[in-house]
Amino acid sequence: MKLSGAEILLKSLQAEGVDTIFGYPGGQALPIYDALYDSDIRHILTRHEQGAAHAADGYARATGRPGVCLATSGPGATNLVTGIANAYMDSVPMVAITGQVSRALLGRDSFQEADIIGITLPITKHSYLVEDPSELARVVKEAFHVATTGRPGPVLIDMPKDVSSGMFDYEASGELQLPGYSPVKDGEPGRVLEAARAIAASKRPVIYAGGGVVISGAHQELLQLAELLMAPVCNTLLGMGSFPGNHPLSLGMLGMHGTKYANFAVCECDLLIAVGARFDDRVTGKLETFAPEAKVIHIDIDPAEIGKNVRVDIPIVGDVKRVLSQLLEVLQPGLGEAWRDRIQTWKKEYPLSYCDNGRLKPQAIIKEIYNLTGGAARVTTEVGQHQMWTAQYYTFTKPRSFITSGGLGTMGFGLPAAIGVQVGCPDEVVFDIAGDGSIQMNIQELCTAVNYELPVNVAILDNGVLGMVRQWQELFYNRRYSQTELSNPDFVKLAEAYGAEGIRVTKPAEVAPALEQAIRSSRPVMIDFVVDREENVLPMVPPGGSIGKMLG
C-alpha cells in the first residue's frame, strides 16, 4: 500500500494511541497538516510553538500518556526548544515532531532551516532525522517506546518535507529491536535486603519522595511503606501529591521554601530513604550539611542520578513502584515513639504561617481555591513566588494534581500546560495559579482556551512586580530593586478582549465569590487578584546555605 510520508506518520501515531496533537503549522510541515485535514487525530492550534510544547507537557503529566507537539522547521522548531528542555528536566514523556527542509537542501542554509537535531541533542532522550522513508513507521514506534520507558523524556522526530510529501510503500512496524537500550526495572535483590536491614536498624528515618513516585504510579506503595514504618514523608516540588498532604506523616515540601519541620527532620534523621528524587540543589542547599547524620538509600530508575549530588550508601536502580513492592515484602513494621514525638513537636512549633493584616494575601487565595474545590482541582503554576505558595498552601492529596515546572523553572509554563491538562481531563476543574510577570510570557494562549471552549481558570496573584526576584533583591541585594517593577495591562479587559471572562478582586471578602463564579463558568476565566505587594515566601533557606538555617 502506498501512502504519503505524512499519512504514514499519522497512521503510526494512531497506532501508538495518539488522539491529540498540539501544534502550529508552517511551510515545511504543510504536508503533515494536509494529511491532518482528513485525520481523526484532534489538533489543538496554539498561538505559539512554545505553548504547544507546554500544552503537550501538561497533557502528559495529567494523563500519564505521552504528549505530542508539532511545528515547522527553523523558528517553529526552535520555538519548541524551551518546552522540550522543560520536559527533559522534569522527565516528561513527549514526542516532538518538526518539519524540515527537503533532504537535498539540508546543510545549505536554506530558508527556515535549523539544525534542530543538533540544537536539541542535550535536551532529548533521542532524536531522529527521517532520511529514509522506509524507516518512518519504525522510527515512530521507537520514539514512543524511548519516550515512555525507563526515565521518561522527550524524543524528537525531524521530518524533511520531501519525506512527508512523497509516496512510499507502507508496512506497519514490526517488533522493536533496540540493542543497548534496556532500562532496569527490578531492584537488585541483595541491595533490597541491605536496605531492609538499614531500615530495621534506623531510629530516625525520613522518606524523601520525588516525581519518580508520580511517574511510576507508586503512590500506594509509598503510602504502605510510610504507614508500615510510621516514618515521616517529605516531598520535592515535583513529588507533591505523591503522598497525601493531609496525612499525619506528611511533612510537606523540603528545601529552600520547604517547611521548617521537613528541613529539621532531614537534618536530624539517621536514615534518608530517597525515592524517585534527584537531590536538586534547591532541596539540598549546602551539600556538606545536608542530612549529615544519615545513611542514604537512593531508589531511582536512572543510574546516572545515583551519587551525582549526594553520597549514597545503598543504591537501588529500578522502577520505583517495583522496588518499593520488593521492599515491602521484606520489611518489618515499627518505629520508636521518640522520633514521632519529636516530629510532631516541630510541626506544632513551626507551622506554615503568614501575617493576616486585612490585606489581600496570596496564601489565603490559594487556601480558598483548595477549600472550594475540595482539593480535587488540577493545578498548574507559572514560576515564581506564587509557585512556592501553591506548593505550601494547597494541600495536594493525589498524584498528577500538581503540574509545575520544576527543573527548568520556566516562566510562561502554567497557562499552556493548563490547556493541555484540560484537554486531557475535560471533566475536571483546572486552575493555573500565576504571577503577573509569568502570565505575560504566554498569555496569548488564553485565545487557545477560548477557541476550544476549555474552561481553564487563571488566578493571577498580581503584586505589580517580579515577586521572587524582588524578594531576592530585598534579602540579598540591599533592596536595590533593579528592573523588577512591572507595568501591567488591565488583565480584566485583556481577558475580555480574548473572549474570556475577566474578574478583578481587591478585597479578601471578594475572593470566594470570584472563585465560585469561575468554577461555575463554562468559559475560561481570568481573575486578577491584586495582592499585598510586599509579601515574601517564607520560610526561606538563603542560596547555598544549610537547610537547617531558615529565614522567617
The enclosing H or E element of 21 equals: strand 20-23
Which of the following is catalytic: 16, 49, 268, 501? Answer: 49
332 in catalytic set:
no
362: CB partners within 8 A, 6+ apart: 385, 386, 389, 461, 463, 529, 531, 532, 535
50 in catalytic set:
no
468 in catalytic set:
yes
Which of the following is catalytic: 11, 125, 141, 161? Answer: 161
476 in catalytic set:
no
β-pair partners for 526: 458, 502
Q: Could you tell me the CA-to-CA distances from 432 to 67, 169, 253, 536 in Å, in that order?
A: 19, 46, 20, 20
Which of the following is catalytic: 2, 111, 344, 507? Answer: 111
Classify residue 107 by its DSSP letter. T
Q: Within its chain, how far is the Cα of 303 from the centroid?
A: 21
Closest CA to 83 of 74, 75, 385, 92: 92
Q: Could you tell me the CA-to-CA distances from 140 to 97, 100, 165 in Å, in that order?
A: 10, 16, 17
Task: At 75, list the grid cell.
Answer: 523558528
What φ, ψ does residue 172 adopt, rounded to 5°?
-60, 145
User: Order of strands, edge to edge, in the sheet holding 295-300?
Assistant: 250-253, 233-235, 205-209, 271-275, 295-300, 314-317
How far apart CA 320 and CA 322 sit, in angstroms, is 6
DSSP character string of 440-479: GGSGGGHHHHHHTT---EEEEEE-SB-HHHHHHHHHHSTT
49 in catalytic set:
yes
How far apart CA 528 and CA 494 sit, in angstroms, is 11
- Block residue for cell numbers 509516496: 167
**SS3 of 14, please?**
helix
Verify cis geometry, omega within 30 degrees of 0, for the bond prior to 455: no
Task: At 40, list the grid cell.
Answer: 481523526
Which of the following is catalytic: 89, 411, 468, 550? Answer: 468
Q: What angle (nearest 5°) sits at the alpha carbon of residue 198, between those of residues 196 and 202?
A: 115
Query: How many beta carbons lie within 10 A of that of residue 341, not counting itself?
Result: 10
| SS3 readout for 333-366 | CCCCHHHHHHHHHHHHHCCCCCCCCCCCCHHHHH
How far apart CA 99 and CA 34 sit, in angstroms, is 13
Burial class (CB in 10 A: 0-12, 13-18, 19+), 163: buried
Q: What would you report as the CA-atom Rg of the chain, rounded to the nearest whole angstrom?
A: 24
Which residues are known to be catalytic?
A: 49, 111-112, 161, 468
